[in-house]
Each structure stands twice: as C-alpha cells, then as structure tokens.
C-alpha cells in the first residue's frame, strides 16, 4: 500500500512551513532514513527523511511551495512491487489541502470573473478556494496550472501565466519557469498591468503607510521608482510578531553601567597566547565569551533575577542558559549556551563558534535556539556605544553591550586613559525590580573587571 510522506512538525509550535527543495524525483528508489527534501521554518532549514524504503511514486507539493500545513501529505512512497497506478486509488494521492495563504491568494482571482452585477456566486467562490493551482487565463476562459509560489512571483512581476509554458508535472508552471520568463521577457502583460498588479500587492501587503494611502498615490510612487515591494519572509514575520508582543505586554525598564575592560583584555591576550592552535583543545577567546560567562555567573550570584514570569507563578531557573543574538541576512537567531555557568571559557568559545556558524546557514535545530533564561545582544563590533535591547520572552532580562572605547577615567585624584564598555540591562519589571536589576548588573561588572574570578 502506498505510504504518505507527511510535512513534519520541526518544533512544538510549528503549524506550517515551506518546502524549500526536493532532493529526489519521481521514480527514485530510496532507503529508510534517506533525505528526501529540505523544509524551511521561520528560523531553520531542516531535512525530511524517508520513513521506509521504496520508490518515490508521486510528489504532491512543488519545490518552493509555502504555507504547507504540518501533517499534510507532500509525497507518496511506493513499496516494492507496487504499481504507480495504485496511487490513484489510494488516499495518499489526494492533493494536500490548500493553506490559508493559498486560499486567500485564490480569492481575488475568483473575483476576476464577476457576474453582470459585479458579485461572485457563492458556489464559484467556494470552488476557487480549495483549488489554488487553477487560475482563469486572461480573456480566454482556459485554466492555467501553477504552483502558489509561481503564481505570486508572476503577480509581483506583472507576468501573464497564460503566455507561459510550464515545465512541472502535467505542464504545471513552477518557480523556474517564472525565472526563465523574467530573463527572456516572455509573458509580459499589457502596458500598465505590471504597475497595477504590484501596486495592489503592495497595498495588500499589510498595515502601514502603503495601505493607508489612496491607491492612486501608491501607483504614482511605484511609477516614480520611490519604493520596491519586498514580501515578508517567515522569519521577519515572527520577529515582528514576538517583538511587538514583547513591547506591548512586558513592562521594560533600563539600567546602564560602564565596565572597564583593560584587565579583561590583558587576560584574554595572555590566554590566547598559550592556547593550543590546533587539535580538539584549540581555542581563541573573544570578549563576547567573557561576557557570556560573566552574565551566567552573575545570575547564579543573584538567583532571584534568573527567573521568568508566568501567570501561575514565578519560574526560578537553576542554571544560566544564556542566549546570544547572531545577526543573519533578513533577521537573527539567538542560539543558547546551556549551563553556561558550569562551562570553561574555552568551552563557551568553541560552542559559540559552532552555533553561530550554523545559525548563519540556518542549520540550527529548534532546541538550540528555543528557551533560555536571558540573552545578550552585542553591537560593539559595529562601533555602537550604547543601546536598549528588547526582551525576548519568556526571558526577564537582556543585556545590550556596546563597544569598548578608550576614554579618560578619574581614579582617585588622577585622570587616566581606560577602555570602557557601556552595558544596558533591559528588565521585565514584573520579575526584576530596580534594586534587583542593579544588583545583577553590578555582579556582572565585578566579573568583567576582575576576570580571574571566572576561572575559579
């Protein structure tokens, strides 16, 4: 009996994802555990493995399709000796239900065939929603088969799908066909259509300036080349949602304190000089490694600050699981150093390098960036002196770290030059009061200014 390959849930909160790439094609023989496809979530790219051995009988979801619901069949695997004709009689052959975004994309297209009074018959609207692949060709009454991604790209670039030839299964138009059309200039709509389509897409892209402006002004701005419409990807949507929620629901307050780095920089230099340069014990410490360790130890010294707010009660964490913001194209990850207070500086350094490298390639597993007890956002390498960071719930704090800058410092009755780093602690006032936040920040400072204490 044919076996369904389902869209996996890569995290407990995942509801849908993007089928980024197929690594097999119909007719390929696969063994159990073989990688079939790559799935993109809002944060990471993960692999789908075959649950059994067999032959790929049918691919149900095109490469590049977005909004594919969890547990939706994406392909059919035939067991040994099974004929491909068995797929048509199997529930596995049923096409996956249209995602919310695909159904919404189909609604405006259904309205392109109105009655004389300008309304769409309910039966016609219902028929259009679950069949997003079908689209009425301009003025011909024919049906054009295209993937949701291809249809969106065609709409954004003003291409008429009826003028294109599909290279997908059964002549379906896919992403590569749109890219070819853009290179060759094929499928261009009548003059003015591309502007109108893109302007409409911009107006529907979400709340904001474009949506609030009259459509005529939107089109005029587009014609003048004032803006380009860049659709939001899953990561940017999640970042916007979580940070908006944080600022609306978490009462932030901020504490700033300067730390002298001179002793830390001297200690770091000596440690790196004697560090193994090759082999499994090799390491090279950065200032950020000291910051991670110092904050982890400070949370152990001030345990009441190592907590999270819930409506049912305060969660006091036994360990310091420190997240570190890593910038990537289009957003950021916050991989977590678990039990950071128990790890040596060299262990933290090597683990952070590994996590940051995989974060930039979107290869982190969900458990490597979810959870944690606090976060660090370091913009010192960009020359930023001081800034306020937004708390990442359920954390109660986040430390914003600025650049180490040489400046005059008064010590006793003398003025001397010192390297000073400004650190701002954002606190959730429901968990961390002002005095508690100040105690945590001063504990952090004591480790930064006397780094030998981190080695004990």
Question: pLDDT > 90: what percent of the chain?
Answer: 42
How far apart CA 146 and CA 141 sit, in angstroms, is 16
Residue 200 has pLDDT above 70, yes or no: no
**Which ranges in 250-324 belong to alpha helices (H)?**
262-274, 287-301
**Long-range contacts, stretch 105-112, CB < 8 angstroms, 24+ apart:** 105/132, 105/148, 105/151, 105/152, 106/131, 106/132, 106/135, 109/135, 109/136, 112/136
Out of 252, 317, 319, 429, the active site residue is 429
Q: What is the largest CA-CA distance in the chain?
A: 91
Mean pLDDT of the chain: 80
Per-residue pLDDT reduced to its tens digit, 20-62: 889 888 888 888 778 888 888 766 777 888 877 888 888 889 8
Quick one: residue 331, left, alpha or beta (phi over 0 = left, psi -120 to 50 = alpha)?
Answer: left
The pLDDT of residue 217 is 60
Per-residue pLDDT reduced to its tens digit, 115-137: 333 344 444 444 333 343 434 34
Residue 288 has pLDDT above 90, yes or no: yes
Which residue, among 387, 423, 398, has the nearest Cα to 324 in the 3D structure? 398
The pLDDT of residue 50 is 80
* Out of 159-168, 198-207, 272-281, 318-327, least confident range: 198-207
The pLDDT of residue 323 is 97
Residue 310 has pLDDT above 80, yes or no: yes
Is residue 317 part of the annotated active site? The answer reads no
How far apart CA 96 and CA 130 sit, in angstroms, is 10
Is 53 in contact with 39 (CB distance < 8 Å)? Answer: no
The pLDDT of residue 205 is 43
Which residue, among 393, 354, 359, 397, has the nearest Cα to 377 in the 3D structure? 397
Is 300 in contact with 308 (CB distance < 8 Å)? Answer: no
Per-residue pLDDT reduced to its tens digit, 165-193: 887 766 778 777 888 888 777 766 544 34
Torsion of CA 244, 246, 248, 250, to 10 degrees: -170
């Amino acid at each position: 009996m044919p076996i369904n390959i389902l869209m996996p849930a890569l995290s407990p909160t995942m509801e849908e994802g993007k089928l980024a790439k197929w690594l097999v094609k119909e007719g390929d023989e696969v063994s159990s555990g073989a990688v079939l496809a790559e799935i993109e979530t809002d944060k990471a790219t993960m692999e789908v493995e075959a649950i059994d051995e067999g032959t790929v009988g049918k691919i149900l979801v095109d490469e590049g399709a977005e909004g594919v619901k969890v547990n939706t069949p994406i392909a059919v695997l035939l067991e040994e000796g099974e004929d491909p004709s068995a797929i048509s009689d199997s529930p596995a052959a049923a096409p996956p239900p249209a995602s919310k975004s695909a159904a919404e994309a189909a609604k405006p297209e259904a309205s392109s065939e109105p009655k004389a009074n300008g309304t769409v018959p309910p039966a016609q609207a219902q028929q259009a929603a679950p069949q997003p692949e079908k689209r009425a060709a301009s003025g011909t009454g024919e049906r054009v088969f295209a993937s949701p991604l291809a249809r969106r790209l065609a709409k954004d670039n003003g291409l008429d799908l009826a003028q294109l030839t599909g290279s997908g299964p059964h002549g379906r138009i896919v992403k590569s066909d749109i890219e070819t059309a853009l290179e060759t200039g094929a499928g261009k709509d009548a003059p003015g259509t591309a502007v109108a389509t893109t302007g409409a897409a911009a107006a529907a892209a979400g709340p904001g300036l474009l949506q609030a402006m009259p459509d005529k002004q939107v089109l005029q701005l587009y014609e003048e080349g004032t803006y380009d419409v860049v659709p939001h990807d899953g990561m940017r949507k999640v970042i916007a949602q979580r940070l908006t929620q944080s600022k609306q629901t978490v009462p932030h307050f901020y504490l700033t304190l300067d730390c002298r780095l001179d002793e830390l920089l001297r200690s770091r230099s000596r440690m790196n000089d004697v560090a193994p340069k090759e082999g499994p014990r090799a390491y090279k410490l950065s200032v950020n490694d000291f910051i991670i360790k110092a904050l982890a130890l400070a949370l152990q010294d001030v345990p009441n600050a190592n907590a999270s707010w819930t409506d049912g009660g305060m969660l006091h964490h036994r360990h310091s699981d420190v997240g570190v913001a890593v910038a990537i194209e289009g957003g950021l990850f916050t991989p977590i150093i678990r039990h950071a207070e128990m790890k040596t500086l060299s262990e933290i350094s090597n683990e952070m390098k590994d996590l940051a490298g995989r974060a930039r390639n979107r290869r982190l597993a969900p458990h490597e960036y979810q959870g944690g007890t606090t976060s660090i956002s370091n913009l010192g390498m960009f020359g930023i002196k001081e800034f306020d960071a937004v708390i990442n719930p359920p954390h109660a704090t986040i430390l914003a770290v600025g650049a180490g800058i040489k400046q005059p410092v008064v010590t006793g009755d003398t003025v001397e030059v010192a390297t000073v780093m400004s650190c701002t602690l954002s606190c959730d006032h429901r968990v961390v009061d002002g005095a508690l936040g100040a105690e945590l920040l001063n504990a952090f400072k004591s480790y930064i200014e006397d780094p030998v204490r981190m080695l004990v």
